[in-house]
Amino acid sequence: MFNWDNKNVIKSLLLIGLFGFSQAGLTKDTGYYGYGKSATQEEIAAWDIDVRPDGKGLPVGSGSVSYGEELYEAKCALCHGAFGEGEGRWPKLAGGFDTLTDAKPEKTVGSYWPYASTLWDYIHRAMPFTAPQSLSVDETYALTAYVLYLNDIIDDEDFVLSKDNFTEIEMPNKDGFFVDPRPDVKNPACMENCKDPATIKVTSAIKGITPLQHIAKEEGANDKASSDSEDQQPKSADQVAVDNELKVGSAIYSQSCSICHGSGIAGAPKFGDKMAWAPRIKQGVEQLNKHAIEGYSGKTGIMPAKGGNPSLTDAEVSAAILYMIENSQ
Ligand code: HEC
Ligand code: HEC
């Protein structure tokens, strides 16, 4: 599966090179692992093109709104529309102000982006779509100025954007992004006075949405249908019983277990995660059944009795376990 394009090969070589370079500092020996070479300053510079909100990374240069307009019409309007309105389904670059709280917000450079540096970086790095990194530094300043002009963030046609005045640009939505002030929530395992797993009830399960009673009954009818088809081997009674249990298990799983095991929240081994399930399966089905039916507090979290749904029969819980392990090994 080594279907790498040249860029990736160069990138990996460069990464190996950088690795060698950082090792060199420690060992004073570039050939420490016997491969790679130190990246040259030019090679590093070619990759180190990011521009940060405080202007760090901006190269020396400048470009006017009017030069930007010329370039934009030649290289960008085709897709992004003459006024940044977006041709067809190509992205809009302008407008959408005051729509962020609407059901369908229009997120554009003007209405949404918090920093002008992202615009410079994006255009320089990725546009025009068909010829990324073909724009010069001055062209990028001019195009950035023009896209800001289309968004009424710059209103003077004669404005010249440069490294020196770049950080004076203020984006309308700059305060729309902030560091989440809520404290980090650690989730240490409970070690004492813990809740008894047998008494925990999960009230947010999607109970009752999927009726289950019909499944076992319908099974008879389905069997008839499948044994009618000629190219199928008749199933053994054992196989039919297993299939039936898996069907019931699948329904129980969706209703009462997937809420935790589907995504692996609260320390639950995730459905389909072979690594997480292997050591558990090793314990044997009996132990798994006991743990799931009675509930237990383990190393990664609390498994409530019957997944917190006491209305399940033991057989239904076992069926769900069978379904989970069948799909996780
Ligand atoms: C062939 C069509 C095409 C052309 C020509 C083109 N772009 Fe784009 N542009 C795109 C597409 C497609 C995206 C979205 C890419 C993505 O999301 O991965 C995009 C995204 C952008 C974005 C980010 C928009 C956002 O809100 O995420 C900017 C800014 C941008 N282009 C500027 C330019 C500029 C400036 C030019 C001219 C130098 C240009 N584009 C030329 C197709 C084009
Ligand atoms: C509220 C979240 C939650 C729900 C709902 C839930 N589980 Fe669990 N389950 C867990 C957690 C957490 C563990 C891992 C506990 C540990 O080993 O630390 C676990 C472990 C298990 C194990 C492995 C037991 C072992 O010994 O390794 C089985 C089997 C299991 N659950 C079955 C089920 C079944 C069947 C259902 C649905 C009827 C269900 N679970 C619903 C949280 C949940």
Domain positions in the chain: 6-47, 62-176, 197-223+236-326
**Among 27-36, 123-132, 230-239, which is the least confidently predicted range?**
27-36
Q: Whose CA is nearest to atom 2 of ligand 1?
A: 79
Query: For the domain 62-176, what is the CATH code?
Result: 1.10.760.10
Could you identify the atom of ligand 1 that is nearest to the CA of residue 72?
37
User: How far separated are the first and last CA of the chain, in Å rounded?
Assistant: 25
Residue type, 230: E
More confident residue, 230 or 143: 143
Residue of 275, 303, 306, 322 best suited for mutating to test ligand 2, as the one with most atoms within 8 Å of CB: 303
Q: What is the pLDDT of residue 182?
A: 82
Could you identify the atom of ligand 2 that is nearest to the CA of residue 253?
37
Q: What percent of the chain has pLDDT over 70?
A: 81
| 252/202 Cα distance (integer angstroms) | 14
Ligand 2 binding pocket includes 295 (Cβ within 6 Å): no
Q: What is the pLDDT of residue 147?
A: 98
Ligand 2 centroid distance, CA of 252 (Å)? 13
What kind of architecture, by CATH, is found in domain 197-223+236-326?
A: Orthogonal Bundle (1.10)
**20-46 exposure pattern, b = at least 16 Cβ within 10 A, e = fewer:** bbebeeeeeeeeeeeebebbeeebeee
**Among 50-54, 105-109, 225-229, which is the least confidently predicted range?**
225-229
Residue 56 confidence (pLDDT) above 50:
yes
Residue 158 confidence (pLDDT) above 80:
yes
Ligand 1 binding pocket includes 109 (Cβ within 6 Å): yes
Q: Which tens digits make up the pLDDT trace of 80-100?
A: 999 999 999 999 999 999 999
Supply 216's token pair: 């076992």
Ligand 1 centroid distance, CA of 88 (Å)? 13
Q: What is the pLDDT of residue 27?
A: 43
Indicate the pTM of the whole model.
0.54
Ligand 1 binding pocket includes 89 (Cβ within 6 Å): no
Q: Which tens digits make up the pLDDT trace of 100-154?
A: 999 999 999 999 999 999 999 999 999 999 999 999 999 999 999 999 999 999 9
Cα 95 versus chain centre, distance: 27
Ligand 1 binding pocket includes 75 (Cβ within 6 Å): yes
Ligand 2 binding pocket includes 262 (Cβ within 6 Å): no
Residue 40 confidence (pLDDT) above 70:
yes
Q: What is the pLDDT of residue 62?
A: 98
Ligand 2 binding pocket includes 259 (Cβ within 6 Å): yes
Q: Do the first three CATH levels of 62-176 and 197-223+236-326 match, i.e. the same topology?
A: yes
